[in-house]
Structure 1
């Protein structure tokens, strides 16, 4: 059975989402908990995307396969009981076996928060970028207009990277379309 979960996490104390050797990662914590629940049988978690060190996620989608006969409505509580406090399962549901958290993504949203004040707010230090200097709003608006439209992000990929799509097609272009 394939389960889709929506999770949130505070990335402050993580080395990112994806498993890395000798580092605390979100994927590592999720897979460790699921492996314990499956009596040592490894369980792989697939995410809709990855985050870097210190980056937070609100509503990231993951999926995993299980043969455990736990009612779907009990999975959320079971996982949240075992996960660390900086990861939370918000919702979990059964999905078709062909569902894929990465390839079936409909949209993603990224937010970058500037805290423009005279003094730092220590309670916001992990969730915003503090800037005391005067901001040039006209220049910021002009620069942000460069992000409107459709853009090709191929240059941000590895030299030989491709993504295999749902029907086996290879996608070499990574585009983003934004509107004002």
Structure 2
């Protein structure tokens, strides 16, 4: 198993989320623009961003699985972790479908299509839901955050001990 000193899942997940929403924005804006160079450039950019989003999602999922199996957690957090994982896998499948439709349209020189438009709307909803569930694991349950309960208790005990020893003479000073 890899022994990485810091979690990589949160690093790559931001690329997946940002690229999916930016790609969606470029796609919608290109759809609304009149025919011309800007419309074409934005459409092509949307396809490339979506493709890079898919590549980033592969790394996100790989590191997510590694951390899923190594992060310490209790049963209270296990069910939300499973829910987040299941949403992530379904979202990856939707992303794969959108990427295939986008690349197919790119090579046929017709990027905008009804299936891709519907797929994009579904995809951003799924990415948003998956990201919310992942954020809930971190911010609600404190999963994989170094400031967990044990560390807080340890720090409180150290602070308490320092406060108790504040009036104790220092052995080095008294010599």
Shorter-chain TM-score tier: under 0.3
Which structure has the greater CA radius of gyration? Answer: 2
- The structure carrying a bigger strand percent of its residues is 1
Q: TM-score, normalised by structure 1?
A: 0.21
